[in-house]
């Protein structure tokens, strides 16, 4: 199962505005009539319950949304492009790795823990046609605006399976056999370690009630540090509410094995060691397992953790284990609901949001003045500064925004270079 992949997504560029003039036979001085370009397509992640893996993106390809259509004469607006919809399994988390790898305190772009859709790269706006730039003193503009480029991002998609209950334990403890006994799932079962190479899900039916159980590949000592298969799949356990720890009674010291796995869960972090845990003492059908159970009886009584004796191979005690697990699951859900209700009832402290500055002007390390801001960068990117009229439009709008005063206060003279986003112009303010 492919549960982590890197892809590069690019939203669609907006369509260019049109330069056009009316040419009807009996309409003198018709004036400009160039239409605006259409908006490009967004890139959208869609959580689809029918998907279970990220395998369709295994090549790490570059995915690009369609571009908007250019504007036309007679003020015809270009068509906006359709969004690029990328289906992913429910439980997918997207991280932005455009600039660097996500750190320990990084927040994901989106966590698709339920069916839905989220825009992860926004499309570029369509450019204005020359009709938009008509003024009383400039009645025949011969320039238009280019469409803005769409956002480009490099994303890491990480799948964390969503299950109510996670089955954990050492290899060959009987987790896959238990899942077979509980549900119609058919995980691979064999008498050698690491039979299960990827998580398996099964729906456990209990009359009118049910829950989803996940069979996690066997953990071993050092799993939290990347030994064996544990490090690849420990993150899937984060989504579960209750853990069923399957212990093999035929081993020399089953309770020591439990301590080993608990230590790995605690070392991995992310709250795994705090989850409610139920012990399933498996293989009681084996004579060695029955003998170990009698020897461990005093230790089990002093353990303080809930436990049940089962035989996954013969289904002995598996029904009772499922019922006890369902009871613990409902208790965990009730606790989560109570915590969410308490948080909702807390009186919020309302503070005004800081006023967002329209632009900033500062000098770079090489001494060149730089203008930052969404609007000035958009104008500099989409207006052709090699054209005289377009360049004058850029400086006119910068004067209206107050950028000219800020630049001149910084000591910029006529003809000095000024950076606006990725564009460098000679100042003509």
pLDDT digits (tens, 9 = 90+) for 230-281: 445 566 777 788 888 888 888 877 777 778 877 877 777 667 778 888 888 8
Lowest-confidence segment of 7-21, 181-195, 350-364 by average pLDDT: 181-195
Asked whether the predicted pLDDT for residue 27 surpasses 60, the reply is yes
Q: What pTM does this model have?
A: 0.74
Tell me the CATH architecture of domain 165-345.
3-Layer(aba) Sandwich (3.40)
CA 237, CA 163: separation in Å to the nearest integer?
8
Q: Which of 96, 87, 149 is nearest to 118 (CA)?
A: 87
Asked whether the predicted pLDDT for residue 159 surpasses 60, the reply is yes
| Strands across the sheet containing 84-89 | 84-89, 43-48, 116-121
Q: Delimit the CATH 3.30.300 region(s) of the chain.
A: 360-426
**With helix as H, strand as E and coil as C, how does the chain read?**
CCCEEEEEEECCCCCCCCCCECCCCCCCCCCECCCCCCCCCCEEEEEECCCCCCHHHCCCCEEECCCCCCCECCCECCCCCCCEEEEEECCEEEEECCCCCCCCCCCCCEEECCCEEEEEECCCCCCCCHHHHCECCECCCCCCCCCCCCCEEEEEEEECCCCCEEEECCCCCCHHHHHHHHCCCCCCCCCCCCCCCCCEEEEEEECCEEEEEEECCCCCCCHHHCCCCHHHHHHHHCCCCEEEEEEECCCCCHHHHHHHHHHHHHHHCCCHHHCCEEEEEECCCCHHHHHHHHHHHHHHHHHCCCEEECECCCCECHHHHHHHHHHHHHHHHHHHHHHHHHHHHCCCCCCCCCCCCCCEEEECCCCCEEEECHHHHHHHHHCCCCCHHHHHHHHHHHHHHCHHHHHHHCCCCCCCEEEECCEEEECCC
Half-sphere exposure of 326 (CA within 13 A, CB side): 17
CA 85, CA 116: separation in Å to the nearest integer?
11
Tokens of 357: 């500055």
Q: Judging by DSSP bridges, how do beta strands 200-206 and 4-10 pair with one another? A: unpaired
Fold classification of 360-426 is GMP Synthetase; Chain A, domain 3 (3.30.300)
What backbone torsions phi and psi does residue 120 show, to the nearest 5 degrees?
-110, -15
Contacts (Cβ under 8 Å, ≥6 apart) of 168: 175, 216, 219, 237, 243, 244, 245, 246, 261, 265
Alpha-carbon dihedral of residues 311, 317, 319, 322, nearest 10 degrees?
-80
pLDDT at 346: 63
Asked whether the predicted pLDDT for residue 193 surpasses 60, the reply is no
Q: Delimit the CATH 2.70.210.12 region(s) of the chain.
A: 1-159
pLDDT digits (tens, 9 = 90+) for 284-293: 888 887 887 7
Contacts (Cβ under 8 Å, ≥6 apart) of 195: 171, 172, 176, 188, 189
Tokens of 228: 């064996």
Q: What class has domain 1-159? A: mainly beta
Percent of the chain at pLDDT exceeding 70: 85
CA 227, CA 229: separation in Å to the nearest integer?
7
CA 227, CA 299: separation in Å to the nearest integer?
30
Residue 313: which pLDDT band, with cuts at 50, 70 and 90?
confident
* Total number of residues shown for the chain: 429
Q: Are the C-beta atoms of 170 and 217 separated by less than 8 Å?
A: no
Residue 226: which pLDDT band, with cuts at 50, 70 and 90?
very low
Q: Delimit the CATH 3.40.50.300 region(s) of the chain.
A: 165-345
Tokens of 424: 């460098």
Residue 223: which pLDDT band, with cuts at 50, 70 and 90?
very low
């Amino acid at each position: 199962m492919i549960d982590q992949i890197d892809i590069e997504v690019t939203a669609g560029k907006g369509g260019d505005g049109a330069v056009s003039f009316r040419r009807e036979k009996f309409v003198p001085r018709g004036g400009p009539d160039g239409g605006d370009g259409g908006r490009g397509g967004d890139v959208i992640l869609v959580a689809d319950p029918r998907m279970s893996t990220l395998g369709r993106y295994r090549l790490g390809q570059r995915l690009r949304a369609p571009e908007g259509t250019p504007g036309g004469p007679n003020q015809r607006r270009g068509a906006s492009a359709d969004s690029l919809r990328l289906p992913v399994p429910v439980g997918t988390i997207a991280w932005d790795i455009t600039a660097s790898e996500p750190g320990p305190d990084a927040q994901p772009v989106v966590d698709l823990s339920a069916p839905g859709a989220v825009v992860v790269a926004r499309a570029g706006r369509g450019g204005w046609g020359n009709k938009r730039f008509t003024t009383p003193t400039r009645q025949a503009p011969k320039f238009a605006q280019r469409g803005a480029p769409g956002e480009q991002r490099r994303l890491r998609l990480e799948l964390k399976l969503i299950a109510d209950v996670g089955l954990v334990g050492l290899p060959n403890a009987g987790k896959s056999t238990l899942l077979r006994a509980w549900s119609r799932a058919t995980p691979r079962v064999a008498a050698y370690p690491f039979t299960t190479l990827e998580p398996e899900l099964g729906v456990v039916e209990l009359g009118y009630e049910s829950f989803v159980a996940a069979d996690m590949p066997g953990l071993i000592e050092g799993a939290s540090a990347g030994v064996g298969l544990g490090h690849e799949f420990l993150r899937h356990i984060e989504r579960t509410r209750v853990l069923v720890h399957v212990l093999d009674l035929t081993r020399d010291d089953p309770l020591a094995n439990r301590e080993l796995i608990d230590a790995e869960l605690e070392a991995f972090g992310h709250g795994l060691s705090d989850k409610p845990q139920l012990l399933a003492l498996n293989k009681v059908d084996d004579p060695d397992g029955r003998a170990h159970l009698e020897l461990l009886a005093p230790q089990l009584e002093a353990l303080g953790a809930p436990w049940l004796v089962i035989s996954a191979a013969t289904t002995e005690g598996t029904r009772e284990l499922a019922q006890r697990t369902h009871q613990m699951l409902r208790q965990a859900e009730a606790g989560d609901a109570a915590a969410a209700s308490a948080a909702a009832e807390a009186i919020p402290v309302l503070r005004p949001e800081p006023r967002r500055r329209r632009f900033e002007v500062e000098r770079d390390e090489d001494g060149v003045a730089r203008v930052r801001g969404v609007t000035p960068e958009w104008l500099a990117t989409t207006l052709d500064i090699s054209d005289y009229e377009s360049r004058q439009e850029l400086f006119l709008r910068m004067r209206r925004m107050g950028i000219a005063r800020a630049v001149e206060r910084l000591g910029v003279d006529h003809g000095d270079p000024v950076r606006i986003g990725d564009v460098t112009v000679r100042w003509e303010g």
